[in-house]
Structure 1
């Protein structure tokens, strides 16, 4: 397909982005062209938009960013057999090499040569996006496009929560951004006996409550460690899902986990974090896990089934819809923390 399309372009190093007319991408023999129906703003996109230290070290403007989307296949390459024109799809955003030691042992999500759509390559804040067919996930026709667009970040939540057993256990989710809020819903669906959501933002704590949190804690107003002790009879929580990346909150996470518990970390601190390894890790005998991306494609199956079964309902989390032209409104809300998931419609 030839012609021009609207796209949100990270046009320079520094704050902001621009809506521009750019070329519709041309597909290779193993690729697919997708007409984007919905694309949601991720925390990573906010990092790129605001141009923090991580973005400065990783991103090379100008390019089209964005990586969470759903859409319809409109063109397929000559060697593509896994999808057809008219299929509704979302995409795994990690482009992996299939050749490194990790890939050769089936651990594609930690491929040492990973590139990320919308970070290292052109992304989906546009009318069309071109991707390798192997990265596509077929969506049921009845799944709303806005829900389908947030399966990728929901996969992060599922991977974090289900990296170990949570049935009958107490789970603390630290940091109630959109992925943290989804983690609340996943933990509840997986049978956690308590799901405690901690944040400084009452708006998002209320969303966490809607998603199934049994207790919400505003750490600005009360001591989170004292509250956890109260809720767990002084034992601490069995599982901590760390989504905040804040040094103080991370340290509290290691202090609130029970002996023999688990701390799974999805957050990306912007600087080194000091943790009391001796007392809060070694002597406690805890398991610490770094979580990146989604297991390809085990996590996608889990996400799809949780949504289809109704065990997790993400609709309370989708709080705002804007046209592509109104993208600045969406980013302003994300920066202010006055939203759940913001979805853009090209």
Structure 2
């Protein structure tokens, strides 16, 4: 089969012919119909500090996809051949304290598809059947493939109450764009979107942001203070990972507010804990993955109801062979979500 392989410790990747993976007794073989490029994939492609310390080439990367079940192991009972599926990308142990108390998304022994084991930038992928999410067959392949990252947005925004509240989305990459849509659908009174890229800010407006601010052209803190009567925003969703932007998030949140951090800064970030956390009495949350499978239910429901429309942020499609074009667009920021088709 064709697959995009991170073949060596360095920048880039290669399209190779590799064997179709074998399917174990509790596993399922899926024919990939659409797979989307994630920011994590860009980290691996660029071979930054995080990826250098985490991944071990050669292997197939990619973790966001939709596809159809073409083979299943003899112990699999939850899906059938022909089912349309996507997948929870965190493979968890099921027996650590977190897994045993309903918090499997922070399992101590997590393996991530496309990071710790072969992923889905390929014609076929094998996964444990318990990680599969069955899709409505009417859901288009490209929209179905972005449920995993949309789940990150859902988890980040809905980690606390947003009804009637002001929400700031810092960083308008694809997950930030979906977070703006989720916040609006969940009843936020205003959604402030911050980025340095006008293209993505316009996408944020289409996705539901009520206010878009290019942080190169205006002071985010001044805008927030002005637009909230000096109080600050109730909720900050940090998606950028940039130290300056993250600090702005801590300064713009109101006393007693919430900051949910999904971004992955590549280096330690210095925060004024005394003044921006303790004295303000705020709640700071680290967000990883999706709550299994509560977040998937919320994500599927938002798509099926039409309250969130992801079509507007899916901006480019390429065959698997042209993956370099997709990664280049992601690096330039002149795109929303990029879909690859094996």
SS in 1 for 2:86: strand
Provide the residue aligned with 1:195 in structure 2.
191
Answer yes or no: is 1:166 the counterpart of 2:162: yes
TM-score by structure 2 length?
A: 1.00
Instruction: Give the aligned length.
Output: 342
- Is there any run of 5+ residues in structure 2 with no aligned partner, and where? none
Provide the residue aligned with 1:85 in structure 2.
81
Please, which of 304, 316, 324 is the counterpart of residue 328 of structure 1?
324
- Give the Cα–Cα distance (whole angstroms) in 2 for the partners of residues 87 and 230 of structure 1: 51
Provide the residue aligned with 1:28 in structure 2.
24
Provide the residue aligned with 1:226 in structure 2.
222
Deviation string 1:23-63 (CA, Å, 9 cap, x unpaired) is 00001100000000000000000000000000000000000
Counterparts in 2 of 1:1-346, with a 5 A limit?
5-346=1-342
- Give the Cα–Cα distance (whole angstroms) in 1 for the partners of residues 108 and 197 of structure 2: 36
The Cα of 1:295 is off from its aligned counterpart by 0.1
TM-score by structure 1 length?
A: 0.99
Alpha-carbon RMSD = 0.3
- Give the Cα–Cα distance (whole angstroms) in 2 for the partners of residues 104 and 158 of structure 1: 23
- Runs of 4+ aligned residues of structure 1 deviating over 3 Å after TM superposition are none
The Cα of 1:82 is off from its aligned counterpart by 0.1
- Give the Cα–Cα distance (whole angstroms) in 2 for the partners of residues 53 and 280 of structure 1: 28
The Cα of 1:106 is off from its aligned counterpart by 1.2
The Cα of 1:107 is off from its aligned counterpart by 0.5
The Cα of 1:129 is off from its aligned counterpart by 0.2
- Give the Cα–Cα distance (whole angstroms) in 2 for the partners of residues 199 and 208 of structure 1: 10
